[in-house]
Amino acid sequence: MDGVHYLLDLAIILFAAKLFSTIGKKFGVPEVVGEIIAGLVIGSAVLGVVKESDFLSIMAELGVIMLMFEAGLGTNLQELKSSGVKATLIACAGVIIPLILGTILFMSFYGFDSFGSERFMKGIFLGTIMSATSVSITVAALKELGKLSSTVGTTIVSAAIIDDVLGIILLTVVTGLSGGSQSESVSSVLLKVPAFFAGAIVTGFLVYRAMSWLDGAYSHHRRIPIISLCYCFLLAYLSETYFGIADITGAYVAGVILCNLSDRDYVARRVDISSYMIFAPIFFAGIGLKTSFGAMDSRLLMFSVCFVIVALVSKVIGCGGCARLLGFDSGDSLKVGAGMMTRGEVALITAQKGLALGLLTADYFTAVILMILVSSVVTPVILKKLYQ
C-alpha cells in the first residue's frame, strides 16, 4: 500500500456509503442496501476507485463483529431462552431444505447420479454452500426497523447462530465424506462446539459477575465500554481460532453474556457510534466492493440465476415453513423465512474449501457472490415491506 492511500479509501467509502444510503432512504430502501450499492459503484464492478485491501478486510470484519456484539447486547435473555427450542428446529429446517434443493438443482443441470458418486458429492457441496445463513445484514435491517429485540427478531438471530454451528458440522461431514485430507474429523468438531458453548457459559458467568461489580463501582465510566469491547474481541478471537466457530458468533455470545449489565445501553451506544462512524459502512460497502462480474457462458448464467432463486426460496420454505408449523402466524413466519435468506462470508469460505477439495470449479464463485449480493439487497427490502 502506498503511503497513506487508506485515508483516501476511507474517505471515499464513508462518503459514498452515506450518500447512497441517504438516497436509498428517500426511495424507501433500507440504509444497508444503499451502503452495499455504494460498494458496488465505487468497487471494481463499476468505477473501480477503491480496491480491496488487507486493511479494509480487517476493518470490515471489525464492523461485523461490533454489529453482532451489539445484537448480543440487545438480547432479551428471557426471550432467547423461550425461543431456544423453536430456533433450533427452524435452524435445522433452514439447513436441510437448502441442502436438498441445492443438490437437486445441481443434478437437474448437470445430470442425476447415485449417492456417493462424484457428481452427487458436488451437488451436496453446492447445497452446503446454500445452507449457511449470514445474519449480519438481517440484524442491521431489523435494527433499522427497531425490531431486533422482538420475538421474531430474537428467533431469527438465535436460529442463525445455531445455523452457523450446524453449518460447520455439515461442512465437516461433507468434506469428511469426500475424503479431503485437510478436513477436520467430525468427532473433533462435535467435541469443540459444545466445548465452546460450555466454556463460554462458565467463564461468561464469571466475566458477568466481574463486569457487574466494575459497573457498580464505576457506572458510566469509559472503562466499562472499553473492557466490554476487549471481551468481545477476545471471545471472537478464541471462538474462531480454537473452536472453529465464526468470530461473529463469539462476538454475539459476548454480547449476550453482558446483556444484563446495568450499563448495557451505555456500552451499546458507544459501540454503536464507533461502528456507524467507520467500521459498519466498510463492512456493508465491502460486500459490494468484492463483487465483480466475470465472463459467464449462458449455461452458467442460467445456473447462477436458478442458484440464487433456490437459495432464497429454500430458506423461506425451510425456516418460514417450520416457523408456521411451530405456531407463528403466517406474517411472522414469512418474516422469519425472509430474515434467514441472507448469505455471507460463510458461503464464500465454504466455496473456497470446496475449491481446495476439487468439489467445485472457480466458475461457481460468480453464482455464490451473486447469491450473497442479491440476498443482502433483497432481504432488508422484503423485511421492511413485511413490517409495514
Binding site for a copy of itself (CB under 8 A): 1, 3-8, 10-11, 14-15, 18, 22, 54-55, 58, 61-62, 65, 222-223, 225-227, 229-231, 233-234, 236-237, 240-241, 247, 270-271, 273-274, 276-278, 281
Nearer to a copy of itself, 206 or 230 (CB): 230
Residue number with CB closer to a copy of itself (240 or 263): 240
Distance (Å) of CA 131 to CA 93, 169, 170: 10, 11, 9
C-beta of 125 vs 279, nearer to a copy of itself: 279
Nearest residue to 110 (alpha-carbon basis) of 96, 97, 98, 124: 124
Cell of 19: 450518500
CB-based contact 96:330 (threshold 8 Å): no
Cell digits for 85?
427450542
Cα distance from N-terminal residue to C-terminal residue, the chain = 46
In angstroms, what is the minimal distance from the CB of 92 to a copy of itself? 28
Task: Report, in Å, the least distance between residue 59 CB and a copy of itself.
Answer: 9
Output 120 or 276, the one with its CB closest to a copy of itself: 276
CB-CB contact of 169 with 243 (8 Å): no
Look up residue 33 and give its three cell numbers: 442496501
Q: How far is the CB of 32 from a copy of itself (least distance, A)?
A: 14
Q: What is the spatial distance between Cα 116 and Cα 44, in angstroms, rounded to a whole number? A: 40
Query: Minimum distance between the CB of residue 70 and a copy of itself, rounded to whole angstroms?
Result: 13
Q: Pick the closer one to a copy of itself by CB: 244 or 339.
A: 244
273 versus 325: smaller Cβ distance to a copy of itself: 273
Q: What distance lies between CA 353 and its chain's CA centroid?
A: 18
**Alpha carbons 366 and 304: distance in angstroms, whole number:** 7
Is there a contact between 88 and 82 (Cβ–Cβ < 8 Å)? no
Are 337 and 316 in contact by the 8 Å Cβ rule? The answer is yes
